[in-house]
Structure 1
Amino acid sequence: MTNPLSPGSLAGKRALITGSSRGIGAQTATYVAEAGASVVVNYRSKAPRADKLVSSLTASGATAIAVGADLTDPASVTAMFERVREEFGGLDLLFLNASGGMEQGMAEDYAMQLNRDAQVNALTTALPLLAPGSRIVFVTSHQAHFIETVETMPEYEQVARSKRAGEDALRELIPTIEAAGVEFVVVSGDMIEGTITATLLERSNPGALATRKEAAGKLYDVAGFAAEVALAAVEPVPADHTRYVGDISSFTG
């Protein structure tokens, strides 16, 4: 897919994308770097994959570094942003893309730790690095955003509720964010073909993706949705701070 951002449109900007060694995060990092931003590729445990992405970006002339951090570990997050301060001096764009909760072998409250508590900690830790005019982009799903009014698949409900709790917690910080001169926008999309979440849902509920695709009429792939996430860095923030990707009629009636 063609980069939705104009060449040079983010020249001089510094961006960090959480969970960007693969999937939507990696594609978002690519679009942002190609538009001229210096990029921090964050990963939890897949250093080789993150390093490969950084090598690809730098080979194309971009400035990029890979920084590992477990977002559920506050000390790890603090160290990540200290590295950002040392390398880039600050940030202009923070994409809160990392999420999860369907993984096997994690703590019972892992979804809430990652999708709510870690998001709040990442934002508040990063805020001193964000100059006036900067922007924070939080990535979520329609299934999570509308969970209080529209049921989702049982296999995804825990994740959806934890992501909605994270969105609510971040929205409570909007007065503090705006007082610092920083903008905040939520990007909400339907199930995305090719993501680890879609794969895990399909594994636990065969046919789930096809059923959702039939109801929605269209599902975005990774590159298409990442394009919308990247555009959230430059397009005007909606009045309700929410950028909806695709048709939401099946969620709003």
Structure 2
Amino acid sequence: MATLEGTTAIVTGSSRGIGADVATQLAAQGAAVVVNYRQKAPRATKVVAGIEAAGGRAVAVGADLTAPDGPAALVDAAVTSFGGLDLLVLNASGGMESTMGEDYALRLNRDAQVAMLTAAVEVMPPGSRVVFITSHQAHFVEKVETMEAYEPVARSKRAGEDALRAMIPELEAKGISFVVVSGDMIEGTVTATLLDRATPGAIEARRQEAGRLYSVAEFATEIVRMATSEVPTGHTEYVGGAEDFLAKS
């Protein structure tokens, strides 16, 4: 896609953090956006209100991507509210929560991603794009050791990336491109906070190794840039501090 004007995007997990910034920036560039939340409706409503106040178009949709009807609800909202779907940003992830069950990371980071993409491709026209968001710690987990507290999440996200990449031939047949954006730890995210709580000093240690860590807004800008960048399908865009991971892999 050369421009976002007149397009429709779904951003999963976009009621706060990176997803909210991505949704806001996409709307500022002309996309109509489906803002997804699982439980926190007021947060999503606030994101939509901000987009609309700036002259953009958005709708908040509650959907648990791990539920059978969750992905379809988002796709239906995109089609009903805005007439179609041109961009899918797979941002939702998790697994460090202690109350969601032992298999939650895999259900969300792999199974739900595949289910969301499977539902979306049914309505996405040729020229559409899918952007999957991951971390260096997950993308390189098979070759570079990560923090013990994060390893289950990292491995489940890598499993999700692998499962999505396996769908590239199907996407190509439909004229849909697939891009991965891999980022370092991001300042101010829930995951970074939980990691630092589980492993005190983890964020500062990574900041020293990488030189600096991206903010939520900075990382969101890179994600939005990849929504229209002319890169081949299957491309991985590394954002911040990937040199040491690449050297070790």
1:18-49 deviations in whole A, cap 9, x for unaligned? 00000000000111000011111001111001
Distance 1:240 1:65, change over 3 A: closer
Report the equivalent of 1:160. Answer: 154
| Aligned with 1:192 (options 161, 186, 199) | 186
- What is the percent sequence identity of the aligned residues? 61
Contact 2:36-2:62 at 8 Å conserved across structures? yes
Match of 1:170 among 158, 164, 169: 164
Q: How does 1:74-93 map to 2 (within 5 A)?
A: 74-93=68-87
Q: 2 CA distance for matches of 1:79 and 1:69?
A: 7
Matched, 1:113 2:107: yes
**Structure 1 runs of 4+ with >6 Å offset:** none
Question: Structure 2 residue aligned with 1:52, among 46, 49, 72?
Answer: 46
Q: What is aligned with 2:201? A: 207
8 Å Cα contact 2:26/2:224 also seen in 1: yes
Q: What secondary structure, in the 3-state scheme, does the structure 2 residue paired with 1:74 have?
A: coil
| Structure 1 position 77, deviation (Å) | 2.0
Question: Do the aligned residues in 2 keep the contact of 1:183 with 1:237 (CA within 8 Å)?
Answer: no
The normalised TM-score by structure 1 is: 0.95
TM, length-normalised to structure 2 = 0.96
Moved more, 212-221 or 79-88: 79-88
Measured after TM superposition, the shift of residue 101 of structure 1 is 0.2
Query: Aligned pair 1:182/2:183, yes or no?
Result: no
Query: Pick from 216, 223, 230: which aligns with 1:222?
Result: 216
* Corresponding residue of 1:42: 36
Alignment of 1:238-253 (within 5 A): 238=232, 240-253=234-247
| Aligned with 2:8 (options 14, 18, 23) | 14
Deviation at 1:247, TM superposition (A): 3.0
**Residue number in structure 2 paired with 1:4:** none
What letter matches 2:180 in structure 1? V
1:195-238 superposed Cα distances (whole Å, 9 cap, x missing partner): 00000001111100000111111110100000000001011124
Letter in 1 for 2:5: A
What residue number does 2:230 align with? 236
Runs (5+) with no aligned partner, structure 2 = none
Matched, 1:69 2:66: no
Shift of 1:249: 1.7
Asked if 1 retains the 8 angstrom alpha-carbon contact of 2:93 and 2:109, the reply is yes
Conserved 8 A contact 2:34-2:77? no
Paired AA for residue 15 in structure 1:
A
Structure 1 portions without partners, runs of 5+: 1-7
For residues 209 and 93 of structure 2, the distance between their equivalents in structure 1, rounded to whole angstroms, comes to 24
Q: Alpha-carbon deviation of 1:9?
A: 3.9
